[in-house]
A and B are shown apart, each in its own frame.
Chain A
């Protein structure tokens, strides 16, 4: 941090509530308790609709989860649709490949661009530039913010062409799509994507110039990994500690346990807390990034592994470059398949899938009977998996700034949480922070 002038906090107990009422009242809250000069307790309380949705899904027809789960998140509906499609297709023994697979990947690229641009420009960058919000940033840096919004819109446009609309795409179904995009619609994305890729490269340069606190916590990284591509919609579950297993073994290694302060579960992989998301993906899959994205990363001063959570903003920008590059590749090689979808007849079974939501690995598992009725559903969203690590990051920040005034400390804590881009509705909604000093 740009060290704020320490000012000893007043003696006695202080407790501050940051009311963060927004669209829906703060379900996410961070509670920090400091006793004198000792950090006593950090608890990130997050609310998790996916648990509720697991209940909704039981008894439903197997064709429904892609649309139902897409409603969990207004920011990453595609991730939910894709994880549920793949898991249900796996249960039915069907693989969707060829151009349909490519089109799904293209849809996912749109979501990455949209979600990453929102986070980088409107939520994360203001932290580094000393603005309280993206709106304040826009007042002083209009052209820069317009560039971010242009990127975000391009991501939306890709989602509209593939998904039918930008929010809760309606065109996705088991086996593929209801309607294939017209060739002309895809080609029309080409020019805007080229421009977006330039914008993304400029974004990498811009954020690489920020000042970053010098921290390198040793966290376990978990992400999908695929030998031939930067894993988005398919791969094995890998960690940087040597785990590399098929998605069907996810639950053998990832355990979730209840903790008192949160409706969310704390996850561990082989007994250790871990994190998902851009830093994990990047560290495990640098070699699969496109040459241009790799070059942008190197020019930005990133090594092949980056452990500083504050630098996740740079990695997100690099991933925008990649997503633009990959979208262009898909469009350029596209040849319309014969059908918009393949048949996915139901059969009794269980299917698992992970895909890489913008903020990390999203796991779905379904059990269906031979009539295609969902008997059981399990969803493990990304933010819940990273929760322990987010708390650990906050602990590190507080320990390093015990003598800082509470309002500054609050801001530092929020930044530490924001580094992880926690999901709006699958977990921390609008963060409410309490710092209690004794």
Chain B
């Protein structure tokens, strides 16, 4: 008897994120994204920079399938995001780790439960959760604070919990929307070092940021956006002053 199960095959050489002629307009007027073409390869570390209203957040929302583009094609890890059905979205998002500026932790649960929550969503057994969560908390340096509630932690620690939650399911892509926006320089660097470490282990990392110092110092690929258009895309680039 033939096995009728279909498996999606992902070309390992194909870009892990691919946008072709993507536009997004919320209302009539200037589009948030305008005919954007972007390709990010597996294992890359990419900064997306630009002023407010440049389209950075819209880009993240499109990659997360929170929004649909007005036109164009978006492929993320072999999945055509535009053609994704609503009920397929949760499974799609489980392959993406996501970190936000405001951490977005479950405030009424402790550090351990916040990280374990991501594992429960993918229906890991309790045994696996008990193994994976402490291990991930060790990586982000919070093994000793697993019982603490988010409000008992500093901003940097909260962001590390968010990172642990984003990474515990071993996603192939990590999207970070202003991960250092609420942090002091010391904590910002700690988070960026963690992101670099994660990238070294093979995860593709896309960071939306305003942090000029970090972007200039890390010498990674930098995509600069302005008014919904990519105005610059440089390997080992820096923060471009628009004035």
Same complex origin of A and B: no
The interface of chain B, by Cβ under 8 A from chain A, is: none
